[in-house]
Structure 1
Amino acid sequence: MFPGRPRIVRNGILLMAAILTLWHLQLLPRTASTASPEWVKLERFMNHNASSSRYPEPKSSFDWSSIKFRYPPHNSTRLPAQGKPLPQIQHHFSGVESAAAAKQRKQRLLEVKKVFLRAWQGYKKFAWKQDALLPISGGGREQFSGWAATLVDALDTLWIMGLRDEFDEAVAAVAEIDFGSSTSNRINIFETNIRYLGGLLAAYDLSGRKVLLKKAVELGDLIYAGFNTKNGMPVDFLNFHSAKSGEGLMVEGSVVSASPGTLSLELAHLSQVTGDPKYYSAVSQVMDVFYEGQSQTSVPGVWPMSVSMLSKDVVHGGTYTLGGCADSLYEYLPKMHQLLRGGEPKYEIMSKTFLKTADKHFLFRPMLPKEDDILMSGNINVDEKGNPVLDPETEHLTCFVGGMFGLAGKLFNNADDVETGIKLTNGCIYAYRAFPTGMMPERIDLAPCKDRSHCPWDEDYWLQERDRRPEWKTHLPKGFTTAKDPRYLLRPEAIESVFYAYRITGRRGFQDAAWDMFTAIAKGTQTAYANAAVLDVTIADGKLPLEDYMESFWLAETLKYFYLVFTTPDIISLDDYVLNTEAHPFKLTK
């Protein structure tokens, strides 16, 4: 009945289902090393041979592949042949996990899953098929075209957590999404790409459900329509009705650099799974522009916060950041190298060039009372003489940089970059622990050290720096000079880097740091129905003020990363998957 399958299935489907259920709940004993061959076979069987006949045939009111472009893209660039084998990313987890350690890990795992399920049930009850849940009032909101952003974004988390009934119900709902109709005539290409297309591709990679690939192709063709422009560059916002006509679109004069720079991973992977090179070809033209301009900016190695796709100008500008507006542009450089297995040399060149510049200009050691040896990422402004000047403002968004440095360090065999990534990760852990709520604010400033190797505490200097900004000096722990934006928006970037640090080093301390972060966040953000953003995490006493909104990335990223910290390390191994900026895992081709 099941040729070539493990002997464990011979007693029937019910026995196999029971075992699989226990395994996905992490209740069966496993070592901390790789899974046994029998489990691998069972996982492969469940992922890719499951029937999808229960799902309705996907339908749409418009066929995006039928558009006759006024400006047909030049589809001459093919997916590259794979390069040499990649280095091992994950730590070699050897030996059997002790009973006490396994018990603690599984308890933590189930607590994370419990918080996810509660939020998912709130979404299902009050905002099913809408973009986002209002977790305080109990309602829904359309924010990203009305295509059920939270549902699509959370698909792979449902699968990873073993929630098969919920996953199948969600996939059936996805089949009914009409990408030919929208609640808005202006489609944000960036968000559509990372949340929707990324979510569909990852869920397909994990489950093998063909309906998800069909919807991904449909959405990929919609995004591809954004390249119907005179110069082949993508629009930032796609005019829905104009795009359908094929009449040609006008590229914006100025966009944040992350928008065009964060299309590469998803479109390249869509070409990988479909065999159609047009998606990769289109985005390759964009990345060629960034590649050619990388060394010509006023801070060579990085690109300004704002760029012009209209004039293909990624060079001119005096404001630089690794945070919001630019973050995922940089994140995707080493990840594209990994996805393409080194087959396209420019991504290794861009990665190494960027990492060197970032380390030199953006990273700083903050002055702290106990002289902790940690790093933070700031911004750069170019002065009137053309010199780069550090602005020591750190965003929660920049906490991804630790994971990026760690991953790149392993990919390119650079131990110094791995260590830099650990120090950056510890910097964000420090910020979480420093504030009374156990959560890091959205934007903070610290006094930078003049020397990374020696940084004695100077309280007078800290007070002087703090008092230069009196409007921000309340509720600040020592070392912090502002909390310009005291909110916590359910963001994932800090736990993202903790996840990478744990998987790369194997150090249990990162699991403990993750647990501290999780318990603080779960407690501080809880509402009657799910979890909400906190308006001020610097408050020491009393009930925290909350905002009636739950971003889809709470389920897609934040809780997924917390969960993966406590699974066995073979689940979404960094040697088998590359995760997009929305934490959607794409299977690496062999």
Structure 2
Amino acid sequence: MSSNTLPYSTKTFTTITPTFLHDPSFRYVISHILFTKNVKSEFMACSTGKFLALLMFCGLTYLMLTHASPIHSITNHVSSVVSSEVGDKSIINGSFGFKRLLRKPPRLPPRLITREVNSTNKSIAKSNKKSKWTSRRKSVRKAFIHAWSGYKNYAMGYDELMPLSRRGVNGLGGLGATVVDALDSAMIMKLHDVVFEAGSWIEKHLPERILRKGQVNLFETTIRVVGGLLSAYHLSNSNPTYKGPTPSVYLETAKKLADRLLTAFTSSPTAIPFSDVVLHDHTAHAAPDGLSSTSEASTLQLEFNYLSFLTGEQKYSVEAMKVLEHMKILPKVEGLVPIYISPSSGEFSGANIRLGSRGDSYYEYLIKVWLQQRQSNLTYLHDMYVEAMKGVKHLLVKKSKPNGLVFVGELPYGVDGGFSPKMDHLVCFLPGTLALGATKGITKAKAMEEDLLTFEDLENLKLAEDLAKTCFEMYAVTSTGLAPEIAYFNSEGYSEEGLDGGNKTSEYIHDIVIKHADRHNLLRPETVESLFILYRITEDSKYREWGWSIFKAFEKYTKVDSCGYSSLDDVTMLPPRRRDKMETFFLGETLKYLYLLFSESNLIPLTEFVFNTEAHPIPIIAEK
């Protein structure tokens, strides 16, 4: 049979289908099929068509008289409830089929399309997730208020609070270090009363103290006080709603202090500054052993560069950058440097290589100063950083036994001496620095999308994540959930038993060794700093969860109900003994990084700021 003699055609379906879908009653179907002109002309064109039409008519008539309406099948559970009252009576009256057909079907409630349901569920989940982290951020804010209140009530104007004794102590030169360290944290957390209290104290007391105080450490004073003042200047200038002094007070005070600190540079016979300055008489001198820490001499540049940028006076930047320019030409071991340097000779002293105390922030500032000054073409800093990270991976990175935690050890006697599987908590700055060096502050996803990551960048990012896990496990392995100051790792050539962290449920109880002298916790920030940076870059929420676990442990074991937070003597004991000291960096760094970890990524974005080694955000200097 040719297509011309078929009893139906595509044309027939285009006529019937749209209306049928909107009014699927049998009465309409019959009338439409039998009496539509087009159907009659084509459908009755052959005897086969006439026969099929008659057969269809009979079949549909039978269905009307003997079966319920299609609506019955859709709402079967409803009709079963009412059948005894309505259905049986209709059938007895012989009107069931016709009455149901003459009645229009009820309008069913609209059904959500699957993707609309999914979208709604995702919105709810996103809202719940945001609410959770908002709540946790508020918990950190509350902790900051508790810490500040204890300091204000019992130690205002002193460098640090002794929370158990409820008194203040000056261990950093008497410049009120906690006040300045805490100020930009309060600004970020929008604690206007704290900003007013700290800012007012700075305006009234700090300039006079700078003039009359005695010896201060160049490094500690620069990172905490100069850095804190410059950060406060920028943040208050950006948000004029803050109470307290005008922003210029912070800048002028920073300049006044930096002018005295410059003596450490100008008094030295080499590019390496002396370690200590006497403020009231504008003098400087070396430490008793005649040496400066490599990290201390090379961790001044972010602050002095930014001060020069703000004031237009290049003397600050020039003196600070001489240090790095000089270190560039000194001999190194695969980019790694000893932890001491002599301001008298300008040479490194000894062979001890480590990324813990006295070595750490040298490597941190190589990449951060380059990021701050990217428009200045300081490529030698980036080159020094790249070479150093290659050296770290080749000479210092090992894996623990039995479970393979990645850690960074030390070379206490240089590259020709033995390897020590010792890792300070201070080394936990490195995961964040590696991640920052890999993506330059943008997210990993964006960097991958724009094809910005080299193989070496990806390798460094992987190392960053592995080291961050190790740093977190240094917390999780202890009875308190807080990390010791120093850990050792069972590894090839080294094994100790009976010195675990106390948490027998930890998978890594046999990997991490904590010696008795190293079991204290000083409320340090390095691990949460790296968690913050890694969360911003990888967007992996596990870093937030790890940070929350650490915060809860701080709350449980270090909080002094009457007054602030206290360092601990032994994190492996329950309950832990307290040390009666709240370091300035707990307010200036630890709580700040936790707050930012639980905040949105547009709060102090990593593409616009670099954090100095005391967690004071310094703006990246844009090209003029």
TM-score computed with the length of structure 1 as normaliser = 0.75
CA contact (8 A) 2:478 2:501 kept: no
SS of 1:381's partner is coil
The counterpart of 2:438, out of the listed 395, 404, 409, is 409
* Aligned counterpart, 2:232: 203
What is the deviation of 1:377? 1.4
What is the deviation of 1:366? 1.5
* 2:616 paired with 1:573: no
What is the deviation of 1:232? 4.7
Q: Distance in 2 between the 1:156 and 1:147 partners? A: 16
Q: Distance in 1 between the 2:406 and 2:296 partners? A: 27
* Aligned counterpart, 1:77: none
* Aligned counterpart, 1:47: none
Which is worse superposed, 549-558 or 279-288? 279-288
What is the deviation of 1:388? 4.8
* Aligned counterpart, 1:117: 145
* Aligned counterpart, 1:429: 472
| CA 1:357–1:388: 2 relative to 1, 3 Å | farther
- Give, as a single letter, the amino acid of the residue that structure 2 aligns with 1:202: S
What is the deviation of 1:473? 6.1
> Within 5 A, what are the aligned runs for 1:552-567?
552-567=584-599
Once the two structures are superposed, residues 188-225 of structure 1 have per-residue CA deviations (whole angstroms, 9 ceiling, x without a partner) of 11100000001001111111111111111111112112
* Aligned counterpart, 2:355: 322
* Aligned counterpart, 1:220: 258
- Give, as a single letter, the amino acid of the residue that structure 2 aligns with 1:176: K
* Aligned counterpart, 1:73: none
CA contact (8 A) 1:253 1:311 kept: no
* Aligned counterpart, 2:219: 190
| CA 1:217–1:240: 2 relative to 1, 3 Å | closer
RMSD of aligned alpha carbons = 2.1
* Aligned counterpart, 2:320: 283
| CA 1:364–1:243: 2 relative to 1, 3 Å | same
* 2:274 paired with 1:235: yes
- Give, as a single letter, the amino acid of the residue that structure 2 aligns with 1:577: F
* Aligned counterpart, 1:482: 514
Structure with bigger RCO (C-alpha 8 Å, 6+ apart): 1
What is the deviation of 1:233? 3.4
* 2:495 paired with 1:465: yes
What is the deviation of 1:381? 2.9
Q: Distance in 1 between the 2:344 and 2:127 partners? A: 60
What is the deviation of 1:180? 5.3
Overall identity of the aligned pairs, in %: 30
- Give, as a single letter, the amino acid of the residue that structure 1 aligns with 2:315: K
Q: Distance in 1 between the 2:465 and 2:418 partners? A: 25
- Give, as a single letter, the amino acid of the residue that structure 2 aligns with 1:434: V
* 2:545 paired with 1:512: yes
The counterpart of 1:420, out of the listed 446, 451, 463, is 463
SS of 1:444's partner is strand
SS of 2:161's partner is strand
CA contact (8 A) 2:264 2:274 kept: yes
| CA 1:435–1:342: 2 relative to 1, 3 Å | farther
* Aligned counterpart, 2:154: 126
* 2:283 paired with 1:255: no
Q: Distance in 1 between the 2:252 and 2:198 partners? A: 15
SS of 1:465's partner is coil
The counterpart of 1:375, out of the listed 402, 406, 420, is 406
| CA 1:365–1:281: 2 relative to 1, 3 Å | same
Once the two structures are superposed, residues 413-432 of structure 1 have per-residue CA deviations (whole angstroms, 9 ceiling, x without a partner) of 41111111111111101111
* Aligned counterpart, 2:427: 398
CA contact (8 A) 1:256 1:305 kept: yes
Report the structure number with the largest CA radius of gyration.
2
* Aligned counterpart, 2:190: 162
Identify, as 1 or 2, the structure richer in helix.
Answer: 2
Q: Distance in 1 between the 2:596 and 2:280 partners? A: 41
What is the deviation of 1:228? 2.3
| CA 1:546–1:491: 2 relative to 1, 3 Å | same
> Within 5 A, what are the aligned runs for 1:517-532?
517-527=550-560, 528-532=562-566
* 2:491 paired with 1:441: no
What is the deviation of 1:552? 0.3
SS of 2:216's partner is strand
* Aligned counterpart, 1:271: 308
Q: Distance in 2 between the 1:356 and 1:154 partners? A: 36
Q: Distance in 2 between the 1:494 and 1:431 partners? A: 10
- Give, as a single letter, the amino acid of the residue that structure 1 aligns with 2:495: E
* Aligned counterpart, 2:102: none
TM-score computed with the length of structure 2 as normaliser = 0.71
SS of 2:520's partner is coil
Q: Distance in 2 between the 1:405 and 1:448 partners? A: 24
